[in-house]
Structure 1
Amino acid sequence: MQQKLYNPFLDFKFDNKVCFLTGKALDSADEAIQVFPLWMMRAFDLEDKPFKMLDESFSTYKKLQLPCATDVAAKFEELEEQVQHAMDAGYAEVSKLDQLTLFQWVAKILYGVVFNEIQAGIRQAFLAGESMNFSQALVQKFRNLHAMLQSLVVPMEFENKNPFTVQVFPVDNAPETFMYRDEINTLIFSIRMKDFALIATLQDNGVHEIYHEDALRVAADQTLHPIQFEEICARYFYSAYLFNRLPEYTYMEVPEKVFVEPMPLNDWTLKPIFDQWQVKTYGQVLENFWKPWGFTLFEIIKDPEKPMTYLTDAEGHFLKTINLPN
């Protein structure tokens, strides 16, 4: 029988009566999974901590849930056990996880946030007596994210290259560290905890890895200070904003599996894939990522030709010794 991918964006079905991943009707409202893994919420005491939504309202980590059929929930549980085992062990084990496993784990969280944001938006629109106004570009991104997440339950092969990249870094974090960031408009995600951190770009066909190859080459095989990882993270989040393509993918469904092929990012306009890097704007992003250390925008871009960096020394070598102001 031919595999069929479920598309909730066709009729904007985001209620709690069907499984979010497959569209299968649910028997009970109790059929649900947490967006953020239970083990992670308990390890870092996140369950009742506030989670800020796009409309500036607050939910809590444990209130973010996804309606999910029992058989699909079992698949997510298997995935979670594998990732939890690696993350409990630390960087050495996390770095051994394959890209698809890491993608599925990240994508469930990111899409889970998207799902809850859409539900909140639908409720607000209903109360205001208005129709839901949604960007078609975002619909395309979220539709692709949802389709690729179905690789958990549908055999799927990504042809030529993965649409996503998840990079894992060793970081000398304090034991209690938990730093989570996402940007659903640009589909970028980062998390920093234990002795590692990761950055995921979920629909860029790997171009961020090329764009930041100099920084990645410097950081390769090095254990990063948290301020160094946050600098790399700031670069990624800013370049995700500069990324000016809307990636497209073809899905070919055959009886055995679904083949996913990325369309070329180069188009007839010959416009660069990334917009112009602006030092001041990057400085503002970095200021936000460096908040724990208190650096101001003025300090960061005092020399606009050479913004402040803790990644390299004056000769461009990796900075092994970090001296931070008291």
Structure 2
Amino acid sequence: MAAPIYSPFDTFNFSNRNCFLTGATLNSEEERINIFPQWLMTRYKLEDKPFKMLDESMATYKDLKLPCSAAINEAYLEPLEKEIADAFGKGYEAVKQLDTLKLFQWAGRLLYGIIFTEIQSGIKLQRSHGEDFNISQSIIHKFSNLHLMLQSINQNIIFEDFTPYSLFLFKVDNAEEEFGYRDEINTLTFALRINDFGLIICFQDNGANKSYHREILTKVEGQTLHPIQFEEISARVFYSAYLFNRLPEYTVMPVNDEIYIEAMPLRGMTGKPLFDFWQNKTYGQVLESFWKNWGFLLLEIIKDPENPMTFLLDEHGGFKPAASIEFSR
């Protein structure tokens, strides 16, 4: 028999006394793991750098921890971490060889750690005001499904004829010590740019965002990107994840020692498109944020409202080689 599925959102149990993945009672509140793995913090000197929380408070990367059973960490998380660290250290070609499910699990565990910390912080803040913690049912639905799928780390979970995520991997001409990280927990979207690659994941769209961007993906396939080009693709994906208007539903069926997850059709009973209407002004605002390092302002980006500024495509709509982009990183 498969172990029971753990559902922390059923009871809103976000205590440091229980393992985040299984709910098992821990021996001590010191039984915790880093949300950002130690090898990553050491490599990019992140330990004491500030990390901004949703409530505008600041933590350091090394402060961010997740309650985790030592047995689960040793049996499942450490082997996954080692495989990811080895590949990330070697670069794009090694990362490309990884099972995408393992990338999903690794990045999803990291993102869920941030979600867990944000929820803990929110609960403490509301209680200090004598109020109950409130969070929208749609957000609970998303977070709960992410946690369900993360249990593929320690359980024999089979995604039946579907992939729960969109994953984008690119070779990028990054500066050697550059660390680029971004997430959006409301849409469950993640981006990481290090070494010679960039990775973007939409965690719960059943592959819809990858289909949505197939035209641009075809044009950039096999190309090495300038960092500003990767950030442009990231902006497109983060914006489309915001426009994605479905809450995926799943059927969970335990069979002996396996757990089958089947996705319900995204289109459901409605003919409404999966994505809301793309508005260039809003996209321009997103792009301005992603291009902050290069100083482009919204007025420049949408000077031509029908054709926002792009470094991905040339005037003929073809891929613009990274080598032709002349300003510094």
Q: What range describes the TM-score normalised by the shorter chain of this pair?
A: over 0.9
Q: Identify the residue that residue 23 of structure 1 maps to in structure 2.
A: 23
3-state secondary structure, aligned to 2:324: coil
Correspondence for 1:32: 32
Deviations 1:193-214 (A, max 9, x none): 1100100010000011111111
Instruction: Compute the displacement of 1:325 (Å).
Output: 5.4
Which segment drifts farther, 2-11 or 32-41? 2-11
State the AA in 2 paired with 1:11. T
- The alpha carbon displacement at 1:134 in A equals 1.2
Q: For residue 322 of structure 1, what is the aligned residue in structure 2? A: 324
Correspondence for 1:160: 161
Q: 5 Å matches for 1:3-22?
A: 3-22=3-22
CA distance in 2, matches of 1:13, 1:26: 13
**Are the equivalent residues in 1 in contact too, given 2:164–2:206 (CA < 8 A)?**
yes
Superposed, 1:229-240 pairs within 5 Å as 229-240=230-241
The equivalent residue for 1:185 is 186
Matches of 1:71 and 1:244, distance apart in 2: 39
Mind listing any 5+ residue stretches in structure 2 that lack a counterpart?
Answer: none
Q: Is the 8 A contact 1:310 1:322 kept in 2?
A: no
The answer to whether the 8 Å contact 2:2/2:156 transfers is: no
Partner AA of 1:280 in structure 2? K
Q: CA deviation at 1:10?
A: 1.1
- Kindly indicate whether residue 144 of structure 2 is the aligned counterpart of residue 143 of structure 1: yes
Q: CA deviation digits over 1:266-313, x for unaligned, max 9? A: 032311110000011101111111111111111111111211111111
* Structure 2: distance between partners of 1:60 and 1:272: 41
In the TM superposition, 1:204-223 aligns within 5 A as 204-223=205-224
Rounded to whole Å, the distance in 2 between the matches of 1:179 and 1:138 is: 26
| Aligned mates of 1:267, 1:101 — CA distance in 2 | 29
Hey, what's the Cα distance between the residues in 2 that align with 1:322 and 1:294? 19
Distance in 2, Cα, partners of 1:305 & 1:141: 33
Shift of 1:322: 3.0
Paired residues, number: 326
Aligned equivalents of 1:268, 1:122: Cα separation in 2? 37
Say what the alpha-carbon RMSD is for the aligned residues.
1.1
Cα separation, 2, equivalents of 1:4 and 1:161: 22
Instruction: Answer with 287-296 or 184-193: which moved more.
Output: 287-296
Q: CA deviation at 1:317?
A: 1.3
Q: Which moved more, 1:79-88 or 1:63-72?
A: 63-72
Which residue number in structure 2 is paired with residue 224 of structure 1? 225
Separation in 1, partners of 2:307, 2:2? 56
3-state SS of 2:29 partner: coil
**Letter of the aligned partner of 1:102 in structure 2?**
L
Distance in structure 1 (CA, Å) of the matches to 2:113 and 2:268: 32
- Counterpart CA distance in 2 for 1:309 and 1:111 is 32
CA distance in 2, matches of 1:272, 1:166: 21
1:52 aligns with 2:52: yes
Aligned to 1:42: 42
C-alpha distance in 1 between matches for 2:325 and 2:60: 37
| Percent of matched pairs sharing the same residue | 54
What's 1:248 paired with? 249
**Secondary structure of 1:163's partner?**
coil
**Secondary structure, aligned partner of 2:198:** strand
Asked if structure 2 preserves the Cα contact closer than 8 Å seen for 1:35 and 1:66, the reply is yes
CA contact (8 A) 1:189 1:199 kept: yes
Matches within 5 A, 1:48-87: 48-74=48-74, 75-87=76-88
3-state DSSP of counterpart to 1:180:
strand
Take 1:141 and 1:317, find their aligned partners in 2: how far apart are those partners? 36
What is the letter of the counterpart of residue 150 of structure 1? Q
Within 2, Cα distance between the matches of 1:79 and 1:34? Answer: 14
Secondary structure of the 1:117 match is helix
Deviation at 1:16, TM superposition (A): 0.8
Compute the displacement of 1:323 (Å).
Answer: 3.3
* Rounded Cα–Cα distance in structure 1 between residues aligned with 2:188 and 2:291: 21
Give the C-alpha shift of residue 242 in structure 1: 0.5
SS in 2 for 1:83: helix
Tell me which residue corresponds to 2:202. Answer: 201
**Per-residue deviation, residues 2-53 of structure 1 (Å, max 9, x unmatched):** 4310001111110111111101111112211111110000111111111111
**Mapped contact 2:189–2:201 kept (Cα < 8 A):** yes
Q: What is the deviation of 1:324?
A: 4.2
